[in-house]
Homo-oligomer: A and B are copies of this chain.
Amino acid sequence: MPRIGIILGSDSDLPVLEKGFKLVEQLGLEFELRILSAHRTHEAVTEFINSFDEKGIDVVIAGAGKAAHLPGVIAAQTVKPVIGLPIRASLDGVDALYSIVQMPGGIPVATVGINASDNAVLLAAQMLALKYPEVTANLEAHRVEMRDVVLEKDRKIQEKYNK
């Protein structure tokens, strides 16, 4: 099964991942979750990165707040795509966003919106679908599902408001 590595800088950020977790199974993926700090446990971060091939991890999601170095520090040690998830912990999440997206030339981090764990997982799935074509169908089904949810809400609103 296609596998995502998910690393959070702090377990206090776990609630932010809720929306993302729900999507993983639906998209036919597996994940391995780790709580590791770029600064407090840098050796463990490196160890985990070195195990990616053996564990079949093809894509990484790294979430952190404030001066969020974790995604960039991981991206510097692998050429697998790293998805950066800025977490709102201060300054409305702008500090985390800048610390993740404004990476220097050479070491990209694929950044998603502040606290947007659902989009982080969907982006991971879109990347994995390049290698595992069966994921594509799940992504397309999810799109249809989202569309139908909106259209159903729209239908109800029309009934209520439009004569």
Interface size class of A (residues with CB under 8 A): 35 or more
On chain B, the residues within 8 Å of A119 by CB distance are 103, 105-108
Shortest distance in angstroms between A160's beta carbon and chain B's nearest beta carbon? 8
Instruction: Kindly report how many copies of this chain are found in the complex they form together.
Output: 8
Q: Could you name 14 residue pairs across A and B whose Cβ atoms are closer than 8 Å?
A: A33-B157, A39-B107, A40-B106, A40-B150, A67-B69, A67-B72, A67-B100, A79-B136, A91-B94, A94-B98, A97-B101, A101-B112, A106-B118, A108-B122
**A interface list, Cβ under 8 A from B:** 9-11, 14, 19, 31-42, 44, 58-59, 64-67, 69, 72-73, 75-77, 79-81, 83, 90-95, 97-116, 118-120, 122-123, 126-131, 136, 139-140, 142-143, 146-147, 150-151, 153-154, 157-158, 161-162
